[in-house]
Amino acid sequence: MAYRRVVNLLPRGKESVFSLWKPRQQKVPCFIIQEHTINHVGRTVRTFHAGTTLMVAKLLSVEELFAKRSLQDYLKKTEVEYNECLREFNKGVTDQQCSQDELRTKRAKVSLLAPLIQSVRELDAKQKELAETETLLTEEDPALRELAELERESCLQDIQDLNQKILDLLIPEEEEDLSDLVLEVKAGVGGQEAMLFTSEVLEMYHGYAHHNGWSFDILEHMTSELGGLRHASVSISGPQSYKRMKFEAGVHRVQRVPKTEKQGRMHTSTMTVAVLPQPTEISFTINPKDLRIDTMRASGAGGQHVNTTDSAVRIVHLPTGVVAECQQERSQLKNKEKAMKALRAKLYSIKHEEETSKRYNQRKVQIGTRGRSEKIRTYNFAQDRITDHRIGMTVHDIKSFLLGENLLDEMNSSLQEFSNQEILMELLGENNQGKS
């Protein structure tokens, strides 16, 4: 297991929880988690799959996690591994037969494990200090007891912080969390109502980008006759953008009386969201010889310019058949740049899938079949509630949620916590065992 140094910015104490998946599906009461923000950076992407009902059992606090025998055993095993690796490295430094490559490998492993082992040892020392301090609470001197009580509170806080730090260090970093993203939205089942809702969801993400200080650049945008949205793609850039948005991928369902409904009947419609990490030019390159670039006249409103200038651009990646197009700008050059950005994100997603054969194709899993029953989240206007079915979380006030501000931030923070504990349970071999 490779460990990564992770900035310790997660919420602390009993309020900081992760998820635990059990093999048997259970009905879990909906809950609302207080607003908080998760900011640590990671590697190795993990997403919730649309169309797959996750088995949510319960949430565990940091204290409950550290009470698990499997976690304690894992930490002891890792410390033994670190000590052995350190001895081998020190021996290799003085051993002339040890190659430079072997030394680099051992040095890298020692450096990788060092932050975790240091924190584990600090925790052991702090627990011993706590035990010694608690013996002073029985002293007859009131001043000494008061001093011991203050010292005890300080030790408990330090232990709590170290517990959280160790959990952070156990969570592998996610490579794509450092990326910007390309967001694709598409109307699903429900005709014009689905298109209207798709437009509202895209506007919600526009508000979320503004709320977080990210850029929001439209790459493709096709509207419907009634002002809805058939499909669109946008580029979102900014700190933590992919990390904060990745759990939005999947099928979103709306239940309400549409504006187009004359008899006041409740309708159910769907739309889909795909979130694709946007690689940099350095991390992912495309051979220009593999591209066919077509130009054409833009369609839609736009005055004389639309009818007289071949500004729209379609780019086809010949080896894969992947297509990206853009007609948002008046400049053909700008449309080409935006289309290339979308194409690069799509090809990177495919390339990443090839390198991680254990996972399903990211975009295909996120979109699914766009059916009414295949959903990650429901927006019920009659009950003024939004329910995320992956974690059983419900919040109220749809109007505020669709602004893309605190409530959406709260939902995504909770999804991140669930994902973190799923990773941890997989590391401890408890995903489908439920042992303690």
Q: Are residues 41 and 146 in the same domain?
A: yes
> With contact defined as beta carbons under 8 Å apart, do 395 and 32 qualify?
yes
Distance (Å, rounded) from C-alpha 266 to C-alpha 381? 10
> With contact defined as beta carbons under 8 Å apart, do 126 and 152 qualify?
no
Asked, for residue 353, whether it belongs to a domain, the answer is no
Asked, for residue 51, whether it belongs to a domain, the answer is yes
Number of domains comprising the chain: 2
pLDDT at 231: 93
Q: Are residues 271 and 392 in the same domain?
A: yes
Choice among 206-215, 216-225, 244-253, 345-354 with the minimum mean pLDDT? 345-354
HSE, CB side, 13 Å, CA atoms: give it for residue 395. 21
Asked, for residue 134, whether it belongs to a domain, the answer is yes
Q: Are residues 162 and 116 in the same domain?
A: yes
Asked, for residue 288, whether it belongs to a domain, the answer is no
- pLDDT category, 14, cuts 50, 70, 90? very low
Q: Are residues 122 and 249 in the same domain?
A: no
pLDDT above 80 (res 25): no
pLDDT above 50 (res 233): yes
Q: Print burial letters for 29-66: b (CB count within 10 Å at least 16), e (below 16).
A: eeeebeebebebbbeebbbbbbbeebebeebbebeebb
Q: Parallel, antiparallel, or unpaired: how do β-strands 250-256 and 377-380 relate? A: parallel
pLDDT at 403: 96
Asked, for residue 359, whether it belongs to a domain, the answer is no
Q: Are residues 114 and 161 in the same domain?
A: yes
CATH number for the domain that contains residue 236:
3.30.70.1660
pLDDT above 80 (res 430): no
Asked, for residue 39, whether it belongs to a domain, the answer is yes
Q: What is the pTM of this model?
A: 0.67
Q: What is the pLDDT of residues 34-79, one digit of tens each?
A: 333 333 333 333 343 333 344 345 678 899 999 999 999 999 999 9
Query: How is the beta sheet containing 322-326 ordered, strand by strand?
Result: 291-296, 312-317, 322-326
Domain that holds residue 206: 178-276+376-405
Backbone angles phi, psi at 57, to 5 degrees: -105, -70
Q: Are residues 6 and 155 in the same domain?
A: yes
How many helices and strands, by DSSP H and E, does the chain display? Answer: 11, 13
Q: Are residues 161 and 245 in the same domain?
A: no
Burial-class residue 74 by CB neighbours within 10 Å (0-12, 13-18, 19+): middle
Asked, for residue 87, whether it belongs to a domain, the answer is yes
Q: Are residues 67 and 152 in the same domain?
A: yes
Two structure tokens written together for 434: 């439920």
pLDDT at 309: 60
Two structure tokens written together for 290: 């593999």
Mean pLDDT in residue range 312-325: 88
> With contact defined as beta carbons under 8 Å apart, do 267 and 190 qualify?
yes
- pLDDT category, 352, cuts 50, 70, 90? low
Which of 74-78, 144-148, 344-348, 425-429 ranks highest by mean pLDDT?
74-78
Q: Are residues 93 and 103 in the same domain?
A: yes
Asked, for residue 33, whether it belongs to a domain, the answer is yes
Measure CA 191 to chain center.
30
Residue type at 331?
Answer: S
Q: What is the pLDDT of residues 71-85, one digit of tens each?
A: 999 999 999 999 988
Q: Are residues 390 and 410 in the same domain?
A: no
Q: Are residues 93 and 166 in the same domain?
A: yes
Q: What percent of the chain has pLDDT over 90?
A: 38
Q: Are residues 70 and 190 in the same domain?
A: no
